[in-house]
Amino acid sequence: MRPNSLHAADIAHMVHQQTDLDAHGRDGAILITRGEGCRVYDTEGKDYIEGMAALWCASLGFSEKRLADAAYRQMLELPYYHTFSGMGHAPSVRLAEKLAEIAPPGLNHVLFQSSGSESNDAAIKIIWYFNNLIGRPHKKKLIGRLRGYHGNTVAAASLSGQPLMHLDFDLPLSDRFLHISNPNYYREHTPGETEDAFSARMAAELEQLIEREGPETIAAFFAEPVQGGGGALTPPRGYFQAIQAVLKKHDILFVADEVICGFGRTGNRWGSETYGIQPDMLSCAKQLTASYQPLSALLISDRIHAALIEGSRKNGRFGHGFTYGGHPVACAVALETLAIYEERDILGHVRAVSPVFLEGLEALREHPLVGDVRGVGLIAGVELMADKAARTPFPVSAKVGQRVQDACIAAGLIIRAIGDRMAFTPPLIITAAEVQEMLLRFRRALDDVWAEVQAEPPL
Ligand code: PMP
């Protein structure tokens, strides 16, 4: 059989993830062939600035040879081994030691998996296991947030608050998964309500839910310090302080989902540091290996870890594990990634470039399509509005976010439309000059869509 052209074979055989498969059948996909620094190139040779670091993850861009070398060296030495039945290997041990050294206080134990979803899934299982072992078998419910994103396994998708991940998938899995409001201050605040008052209202809503369900049934709260898939949305002032006070009062665990924020995205090593979060467990992935290999790490507190040991005394062993969890090649790449972050002072770089990025986006508030801009470090969301003064959004059917995303692609910029919120998370190595170019391309796209919108009949 003669192979089809690449694009025809893609339409014939590939099931794309998180994609409009009907449109893909007609339009095909943009296929990326190579990368260089913060840019990627498609099959036609067109260049794009990767304003999303692909999936919020390619922190060191697309051509870091040291990571390829680290993988190659490890493949020659020990291409695979596992961590089941008391066996192990040096790269995972060294990486666990390093993560414990740089983790938020008290998180000294590390469970490796291959993805953010698996890490959050493991956190959910461990929370249930923990509460069974310490004699609280009824404390099992988990609280996430509407539009929160924690992954795609059945449990992590149940915890996520994304309607399309539930609709027709028969999720959430059970009534153990609860959700509170999305803290989008710009969209949801009432007239005159300050950010602090809005945060207090969000915390009061959490407490009402806990009291309605019974605090003795609520095990944990999961949150991304900065919401990614929910819109690159930074929390309103005072939010996590108010939320944590409620959780502490009712002895509810806090799991920080730092799959996007971890390793410098917010200008500190952890988003938890940026927002004063004291997590009982922390999930990280993506930037852990700069995404050159799939790897996640669940950082676990001493208290929870002690219960896992107790569980082995009772049950014989910790009955959880994945074949590829803590893969040695991925761990070797992670160690090299963390070494590069330190040697090149990537945190210092993020702090230096962040003002160029955030102030450049701020300047776009003048644009007739832009209602709000919020960001921190190198993550930001730009909210598009039909009427800025009245805070009136465009109707969903106008697909304005999607149109701006398409116009960005045409202008050579990859960013993500989340509804009508445009998300930016460029590689952490982006330079000030590249930021300026990215913003120029974005403005061109906004102008093009604004010209179209003006030419259309009024809403
Ligand atoms: N948590 C967050 C905050 C994420 O952004 C993601 C992925 N975007 C996940 C979990 C899931 O990670 P993965 O796709 O590696 O399973």
Cα(337) to centroid(ligand 1), Å: 19
pLDDT score for 285: 98
pLDDT at 4 over 80: no
Residue nearest to atom 1 of ligand 1 (CA): 150
Tokens of 206: 């959490």
Same domain, 107 and 247: yes
Distance 76 CA to ligand 1 centre (A): 30
Both 40 and 105 in a single domain?
Answer: no
Retrieve residue 84's tokens. 């089941």
Instruction: Report CA(17)–ligand 1 centroid distance (Å).
Output: 13
- Confidence (pLDDT) at 399: 95
For residues 349 and 369, give the distance between their C-alpha atoms in angstroms, rounded to a whole number: 31
- The rounded distance, in Å, linking the Cα atoms of 455 and 459 is 11
Which helix (H) or strand (E) is 69 found in, with range? helix 65-77
Ligand 1 within 6 A of 271 CB? no
Q: Among the atoms of ligand 1, which is closest to the Cα of residue 294?
A: 15
226 and 368 together in one domain? no
386-391's contacts with Cβ under 8 Å and 24+ in sequence apart are 386/459, 391/186, 391/187
Q: Are 290 and 415 in a shared domain?
A: no
Produce one character per residue of 164-193: b if its CB has 16 or more CB atoms within 10 Å, e if not: ebbeeeebbeeebbbbbebbbbbbebeeee
Ligand 1 center to 148 CA (angstroms): 10
* Residue in 257, 259, 281, 284 to alter for ligand 1 test, most ligand atoms within 8 A of Cβ: 259
* 256 CA to centre of ligand 1 in angstroms: 12
Ligand 1 centre and the CA of 95: distance in Å?
A: 20
Omega of the bond prior to 225 within 30 degrees of 0, cis? no
Output the pLDDT for position 458.
73
Final residue in a domain of this structure, among 343, 370, 393? 343
Give the residue-averaged pLDDT of 363-374.
97
Residue 459 has what pLDDT? 65
* 143 plus 155 within the same structural domain: yes
Same domain, 56 and 86: no
**Do the domain assignments include residue 253?**
yes
**Across residues 254-269, what is the average pLDDT?**
98
* pLDDT of residue 2 exceeding 70: no
CATH of the domain at 384: 3.90.1150.10
Task: Report the CATH number that the domain containing residue 102 is assigned in CATH.
Answer: 3.40.640.10
Cβ burial of 132 (10 Å; 0-12, 13-18, 19+) is middle
Same domain for 108 and 223, yes or no, is: yes
Is residue 149 in some structural domain?
A: yes
Contact assessment for residue 334 and residue 289, using Cβ atoms and an 8 Å cutoff: yes
Using the 3D structure, point to which of 315, 343, 371 is the last residue of a domain. Answer: 343
262 lines ligand 1 (CB under 6 A): no
pLDDT of residue 91: 98
Q: What percentage of the chain exceeds 70 in pLDDT?
A: 99
Q: In this structure, are 321 and 425 located in the same domain?
A: no
389-399 mean pLDDT:
93
224 lines ligand 1 (CB under 6 A): yes
Which of 117, 296, 418 has most ligand 1 atoms within 8 Å of CB, for mutation? 117
| 224 and 297 fall within a common domain | yes
Q: Is residue 8 part of a domain?
A: no
**Size (the chain), residues:** 459
Distance from the CA of 160 to the center of ligand 1, in angstroms? 10
Rounded distance, CA 387 to CA 369, Å? 8
Lookup result for tokens 């952890």? 270
Q: Would you say the CB of residue 150 lies under 6 angstroms from ligand 1? A: yes
391, burial (CB in 10 Å: exposed 0-12, middle 13-18, buried 19+) = middle
The atom of ligand 1 lying closest to the CA of 224 is: 3
pLDDT above 90: residue 86: yes
Give a yes or no: residue 26 inside a domain: no
Q: Which of 343, 362, 384 is at the close of a domain?
A: 343
Average pLDDT in the 67-94 region? 98
Q: What is the mean pLDDT of residues 420-432?
A: 98
Nearest ligand 1 atom to the CA of 117 is 16
Asked if the ipTM is above 0.85, the reply is yes
Report which ligand 1 atom has the smallest distance to the Cα of 285: 15
Average pLDDT of every residue of the chain: 97
What confidence tens digit (pLDDT) does each residue in 107-126 have? 999 999 999 999 999 999 99
Which domain range does residue 193 map to? 67-343
192/290 same-domain check: yes
CA 377–ligand 1 middle distance (angstroms): 19
- Rounded to the nearest whole angstrom, what is the distance from the C-alpha of residue 161 to the centroid of ligand 1? 13
Residues 6 or more apart whose CB falls under 8 angstroms from that of 419 comprise: 231, 396, 401
Partnered with residue 256 across adjacent β-strands are 223, 282
- Tell me if 421 sits within 8 A of 372, measured CB to CB: no
How many Å lie between the centroid of ligand 1 and the Cα of residue 362? Answer: 27
Residue 389 banded pLDDT, cuts 50, 70, 90: confident
> Residue 410 falls within a domain, yes or no?
yes
Q: Residue 86: which residues within 8 A CB-CB, separation 6 or more? A: none
**According to the model, what pLDDT value does residue 381 have?**
98
At residue 35, does pLDDT exceed 90? yes
Please tell me the predicted confidence (pLDDT) of residue 79: 98
Q: What is the SS3 string spanning 364-423?
A: HHHCCCEEEEEEECCEEEEEECCECCCCECCCHHHCHHHHHHHHHHHHCEECEEECCEEE
Segments in 163-270 forming alpha helices (H): 163-166, 185-188, 195-213, 239-249
Rounded CA-CA distance 12/6 in Å is 10
Same domain, 292 and 189: yes
User: Ligand 1: which of 55, 118, 149, 261 to mutate, judged by most atoms within 8 Å of the beta carbon?
Assistant: 149
Does residue 244 have a pLDDT over 80?
A: yes
16 domain residue, yes or no: no
Residue at 371 is within a domain: yes
Confidence at residue 456, expressed as pLDDT on a 0 to 100 scale: 87
Which of 292, 8, 329, 283 has the alpha carbon at shortest distance from 153? 283
* Nearest alpha-carbon partner for 285 in 299, 305, 272, 303: 299
Residue 21 lies in a domain: no
Ligand 1 site, residue 260, Cβ cutoff 6 A:
yes
Q: Is 156 helix (H, G, I), strand (E, B) or coil?
A: helix
Q: Are residues 177 and 109 in the same domain?
A: yes
User: Does the Cβ of 255 fall within 6 Å of ligand 1?
Assistant: no
Judged against a pLDDT cut of 70, whether residue 191 lies above it is answered with yes
Which residue in the block uniquely carries the two structure tokens 């074979």?
Answer: 9
Over residues 22-38, mean pLDDT: 96
Number of domains in the chain: 2
